[in-house]
Amino acid sequence: MGVAGYRTIDDLDVAGKRVLVRVDFNVPMQNGEVTDATRIERALPTIDALAARGAKVILLSHYGRPNGERNEGMSLRPAAEKLAELRGRPVAFAADCIDGPAADAIAALRDGDLLMLENTRFHAGEEANEPAFARALAANADAYVNDAFSAAHRAHGSTEGVARLLPSAAGKAMERELDYLAAALSAPERPLACVVGGAKVSTKIELLVNLAARADALIVGGGMANTFLFAQGMSVGASLCEPGLAATALEIIRQAQASGCELVLPTDVVVAQAFRAHAPHEVVAADATPADKMILDIGPDSVDRIADVIARAKTLVWNGPLGAFEIPPFDTATIEAARFAARRVKDGMLTAVAGGGDTVAALNHAGVTDEFSYVSTAGGAFLEWMEGKALPGVEALRR
């Protein structure tokens, strides 16, 4: 049985077969070289497992936004070269992902060989999920594996269309992501606590609504907490705030109360007149922000309360920083809360799953990325999953 009702590569007979593997090699590049190979490294377990079982491994990915036109500056050749470097084995490269160039390169493969196809987004049919494009991808393969959770929220030809045409399964990175997301939200060990931070409520309304109905405790920090404070009649001075969403914030508060979810908002905050590193600052009560100052972090009493909530939790889902973590000392709350959660994970008391947006950068800054149970590199897909939405690229893999 595959993870959470999804087929996995263990369900596929791949020996001697042509296996299309959708990876996410949309990685940072500079001057034609990969500068961060994290996503390539995460695909290695699937690639190695399929190659070891005698598959002809054919990699598919998008890169950048070429808008359906060939753009050599957005070629995946550098990614293929980085993959070859990481594996210490050759990786062939095809100048297109369909038709003759792809078919010729695939025909030259031996069992266990690797081939990287060119950027799927060089074709308009990719993002439009045109049936003809999906059929052209499927024509060169016997099976399909999706190992790109970060692209699974998009119904594109290489993520959803082709999965409907071939025996399909989740790769190992996809499987691991689905396992942890199921453990975090679908069937969490309770109490379940969620941290939601970041700048604006407007970008995370659906997320907050979904978590208020699911979680035992919902911790709101970052700039979005200011809107909640404002909605309750508190002055937030010169802080980032969305007054037009005050009614929405109050409705989320009501929903949390109705669901028995403890909503944790700042009781004290760190304020300053200037948004710059080491600006003069002070801690004030959340309802006492001076008119000429802005809230840039939550205060020590609030951090203590968050630590208390995390200490009682068995599962933690984290999305977004608690303050302006990019500049000290307004990174203090994010660092302290994240490190406390990491200690609970190390002690075997907590499963902590994080992802989306600035979350990875914030946890890297706190030095705890490797100490959380799982940190997703999928931005939009992670958020949409947390919002309770079905992801097309995942649904296509259901048994």
User: Which of the residues are catalytic?
Assistant: 39, 200, 357, 380
Greatest alpha-carbon pair distance for the chain in Å reads 71
If phi > 0 it is left, if psi is from -120 to 50 it is alpha, else beta; for residue 31 that is left
Do residues 206 and 265 touch, judged by C-beta distance below 8 A? no
Structure tokens at 3: 């993870």
Secondary structure of residue 339 in the 3-state scheme:
helix
Q: Note every long-range contact of 161-166, with CB atoms under 8 Å and residues 24 or more positions apart, other chains counting.
A: 161/129, 161/130, 161/131, 161/133, 161/134, 161/137, 162/20, 162/22, 162/134, 162/137, 162/138, 163/393, 163/396, 163/397, 164/134, 164/396, 165/134, 165/135, 165/138, 166/20, 166/138, 166/141, 166/142
Q: Write the CA distances from 177 to 114, 150, 211, 268, 373, integer angstroms.
A: 24, 10, 19, 35, 11
Residue 118 β-bridge partners:
none
How would you class 243 by CB atoms within 10 Å of its CB: exposed for 0-12, middle for 13-18, buried for 19 or more?
exposed
Q: Which of 127, 161, 151, 140 is nearest to 43 (CA)?
A: 151
If phi > 0 it is left, if psi is from -120 to 50 it is alpha, else beta; for residue 221 that is beta
Q: Write the CA distances from 366 to 167, 247, 318, 359, integer angstroms.
A: 42, 34, 13, 11
- DSSP run (H or E) holding 173: helix 172-181
Q: Write the CA distances from 142 to 22, 145, 146, 167, 386, integer angstroms.
A: 14, 11, 14, 7, 33
- DSSP run (H or E) holding 10: none
The H helix count followed by the E strand count for the chain is: 14, 17
Q: Write the CA distances from 77 to 49, 63, 170, integer angstroms.
A: 23, 11, 25
